[in-house]
Chains A and B, each alone.
Chain A
Amino acid sequence: MFSETASLLWLAKIAGASLAGGVVGAISGLGGGIVIVPVLTLFLGIPIQDAVAASIVSVIAVSSGAGSVYVKDRITNIRIAMFLELSTAAGALFGAAVLTRWVNGQMLSILFGAILLVSLLPIVMKIGEELPEGVHNDRLAARLRLNGSYYDKRLGREVAYDVTGIPAAMGLMGAAGVISGLLGIGAGVVKVLAHEIAMKVPSKVSTATSNFMIGVTAAAAAGVYLKRGLVLPYLVVPVAVAVLVGAFLGTKLMERMSNAHVRQVFAVALAVIGVEMLLRGFGVRF
């Protein structure tokens, strides 16, 4: 009986931390994985490799949960998603199957800290707040018919857009895939950058399409982790379920508050966590 209480307490702690991670991930726009891995390792003493494996599975849940809403609203650009998934999935396989053999826990910590800090840049720089203008399909985009349109609720009209910079976007997406496979995160921020900076896709389409792609990227990486026996089933349940619920709550909360301010507050908190992961990677402990 004593051991059962301890076990339930352990599950509850993991679930609580994951719930918080899901909320923060949704509000900050960084996604669940990048928040949950540091939380599990720094606060709950889970080995980083186990946290990464649990995270990549939970990323699928969050992406699919949110994706089903975006896709129904016709914001997601299915062609862009499908074409660029070629490079994210290939990158994810490479990251998960090849690079993980070369990288130890300390290096993972350092990479994690670095990626977390870089991911905060778009929040600080306020990228993607206006609709892109004067964009024309480049040859590849025209050939692949990647342009599209969506109904913008805030503007109250249909917005049509062209797409450019496909080769650069494919490179960035490949990098996003590698990061996903190696660190067990969705790397949504890199995907959003590829959409908005390289391809000049409107922000809403970029967010929805990135999210849609994350599920496939994560599934490619998760396959490797599953096959290698790196996934701990009893860790995955509280993490995946709680991150999913947290992401849902976070999205609902977002609708009720003016997000610019809240995002900045979270950015500071996440910067602290990023620095802490870096320090831990370099062997400095508190």
Chain B
Amino acid sequence: MSTGSRPSDRAARETSAFAPEGGLTIQDASAWILRVGVVTSVVVMLCGLALSFLHRPVSVDQMQRAAFDGNPHHLWQGLRDLRGQAVIELGIYLLVFTPILRVATSMVLFLVEERDLLYTVVTFFVLVLTLAGLLLLR
């Protein structure tokens, strides 16, 4: 199969590095997180929308103006009262955190499974950048 061309040799090694024997690969972990994350957040958002309308109808005007409430205490309170908007916001958070969780998991796997310090560091900085907006901005 191998014609001895250099790129394919290197590539073959590369591929095997992505799939260590018996270990969890970054590819499989990422695929799983992305799928579960999207499905869960969509279900939660739709439940939130349904809850809103079960409680009492939300007017078009309200829907066009009700802004996302970034306060975690309000969110928690809203979830305990099963308020629709709070449940929708939880779904939105789940969606935004899906790729972030994927990055965090990749970072751990680069370190633990692949023992690749360079990419562990690269991934760490990507993680910091994705969280910066949520955590640092006022």
Contact = CB atoms under 8 A, between A and B. Distances in A.
Contacts of A229: 67-70
Nearest to A238: B49
B129 interface: yes
Interface in B92-128: 92-93, 95-100, 102-103, 106, 118-119, 122-123, 125-126
Interface residues of B, number: 69
Contacts of A57: 92, 95-96
Given A149-B11, A220-B132, A226 B70 contact: yes
Interface stretch (A81-89, A189-197, A261-269, A274-282): A81-89
Of B35, B46, B66, most buried by chain A (CB within 10 Å of CB) is B35
Contact of A10 (B52, B63, B126): B63
Contacts, number: 222
B131 to A, nearest CB: 7
A242 to B, nearest CB: 11
Nearest to B42: A241
Contacts of B65: 232
Interface size, A (range): 35 or more
Interface of A: 1, 3-4, 6-8, 10-11, 46, 50, 57, 60-61, 63-65, 67-69, 71-72, 74, 76, 78-79, 82-83, 85-86, 89-90, 93, 96-97, 144-145, 147-149, 158, 160-162, 212, 215-216, 218-237, 240-241, 244
B99 A215 contact: yes
Nearest to A83: B122
Contacts of B58: 7, 234
Given A65-B38, A68-B35, A82 B106 contact: yes
Nearest to B132: A93
Given A220-B133, A231-B92, A63 B99 contact: yes
A60 B10 contact: no
B130 A240 contact: no
A183 B63 CA distance: 22
A86 B125 contact: yes
Contact of A61 (B95, B97, B133): B95
17 contacts: A7-B59, A10-B60, A50-B64, A64-B98, A68-B30, A68-B31, A76-B27, A147-B10, A160-B7, A216-B126, A228-B137, A232-B67, A234-B52, A237-B45, A241-B45, A241-B46, A244-B42
Interface in B7-22: 7-8, 10-12, 14-15, 18
B8 A158 contact: yes
Contact of A60 (B8, B49, B99): B99
B34 interface: yes
Contact of A237 (B31, B48, B59, B98): B48
A148 B14 contact: yes
Nearest to B130: A220
